[in-house]
Amino acid sequence: MDHRDLLSGFVRLHILHHAAEGELYGQWMIEELARHGYRLSPGTLYPLLHGLEKKGYLVSRTEREGRTARKYYRATPLGRKAIKLATGKAKELFGEIVPDQRHAKTMKKS
């Protein structure tokens, strides 16, 4: 089982994080996600990007170079607000699911 439905939220947050840092394009995002163990095809990534854009988290622009066109995405103010909120929630969750090493050592000594 690959847990795609569960991990898709992490992928969306990863996209939004990078889009808040600066512009990104699809192939770069596929490669970036692969560095983190996510294997996405263009047929999976582009619907995610379009969905985030449709919901107002991303905005895109198309740049043409000769016959080639590349679509660049960046976070909107709503997207920046959402990633800030999600970052706080992720830190809270991380604190619960990853044991505090200091606390674990204290518990072992007792």
In tens, the pLDDT along 11-46 reads 999 999 999 999 999 999 999 999 999 999 999 999
Q: CA nearest 31: which of 43, 18, 22, 40?
A: 40
Q: In which residue are the tokens 């606390």 written? A: 103
pLDDT of residue 46: 95
Whether residue 87 is predicted with pLDDT greater than 70 in this model: the reply is yes
pLDDT of residue 53: 97
pLDDT of residue 66: 87
pLDDT of residue 108: 53
Q: CA nearest 39: which of 64, 76, 2?
A: 2
CB atoms within 10 A of CB 45: 18
Q: In which residue are the tokens 């999976």 written? A: 44
Residue-wise pLDDT for 46-78, tens only, equals 999 999 999 999 999 999 988 889 999 999 999
Give the pLDDT band (50/70/90) at residue 84.
very high
- pTM for the complete prediction? 0.80
Give the pLDDT band (50/70/90) at residue 96.
confident
